Amino acid sequence: MLRVIRISALLLLALVVGVWGYAWTTRGPDETLGEAFASRLAGIFGQELAVPSAGGGGMQLPGGITLGGAFELTNQEGRAVTDRDFAGRWMLVYFGFTYCPDVCPTELGTIASALDAMGADGEQVTPVLISIDPERDTPAALADYVGRFHPRMQGLTGTPEQVAAVARRYRVYYSKVQRPEMTTYLMDHSSFIYLVGPDGRVRSMFRPETSPEAMASAVTSQLRSGARPAS
Ligand code: NI
């Protein structure tokens, strides 16, 4: 028994050291080591742990970690918006970019299908894409893009500093990738979908490739459990 505990402790230590090292080598220019560690750790648990109470696919955040909060960005009509413009509304938020070849369209399609599957409940939730590629994602480019997924989807962009600030609050990782064989660059980025409550705080995270059905059922149960924070 003691030996089992000792081996488990060693494995846990190895995991923490490994994630720390991974965070150290992959963190973005604006990310502190602590933030990188938290986001890589969330990545691991998001892929391995499904919390059945959240409907399978929803991830409850450990108490004490607050994601979400204030932001200042520009919407697809070119108007300055802040978190206060969304206060009192539920949101499903995804961070991505319009030039993404595959993952972003898939995840945005999942959000749209989940909202449709929720019927009338879905109307309480605003789908939001926040661009992590503000250099190319102008309001006009976003307007054209988000309209392809859902009529109510909001596309938000901003200055590089504004985008970096909101990404930090959501522990989103992103970084420009330019390979010699490519004529243009891509963005490497974390790919969680965040359910944000009426108070602007993240209530659940959905890992990549969550099904629309699982997302719809998890979001519906959060809406029905009221405006109470999850922690
Ligand atoms: Ni993408």
- Between 22 and 113, name the one with better pLDDT: 113
Provide the mean pLDDT of the chain.
83
Q: Tell me, in angstroms, the distance from the centre of ligand 1 to residue 21's CA.
A: 24
Domains in the chain: boundaries: 52-225
b/e sequence 61-90, b meaning 16+ C-beta within 10 Å: beeeeebbbebbbbbbeeeebebeebeeeb
Please state the rounded mean pLDDT for residues 180-192. Answer: 93
Measure the CA angle with vertex 94, ends 175 and 62; round to 5°: 95
Q: Tell me, in angstroms, the distance from the centre of ligand 1 to residue 103's CA.
A: 5
Q: Tell me, in angstroms, the distance from the centre of ligand 1 to residue 149's CA.
A: 15
CATH topology of domain 52-225: Glutaredoxin (3.40.30)
Q: Tell me, in angstroms, the distance from the centre of ligand 1 to residue 10's CA.
A: 36
* pTM of the entire predicted model: 0.74
Angle between helical axes of 33-48 and 2-26 (0-180°, round to 10): 120
Provide the pLDDT confidence category of residue 66 given band limits of 50, 70 and 90: confident
**What is the pLDDT at residue 168?**
95
**Statement: residue 152 has pLDDT above 80:** yes
- Between 137 and 201, name the one with better pLDDT: 137
Provide the pLDDT confidence category of residue 33 given band limits of 50, 70 and 90: low
Q: Tell me, in angstroms, the distance from the centre of ligand 1 to residue 106's CA.
A: 9
Q: Tell me, in angstroms, the distance from the centre of ligand 1 to residue 2's CA.
A: 46
**Statement: residue 143 has pLDDT above 60:** yes
Give percent of the chain above pLDDT 70. Answer: 69
Provide the 3-class DSSP secondary structure of residue 208.
coil
**What is the pLDDT at residue 57?**
44
Given CA atoms 58, 213, 208, 82 in this order, what sign does their dihedral have? negative
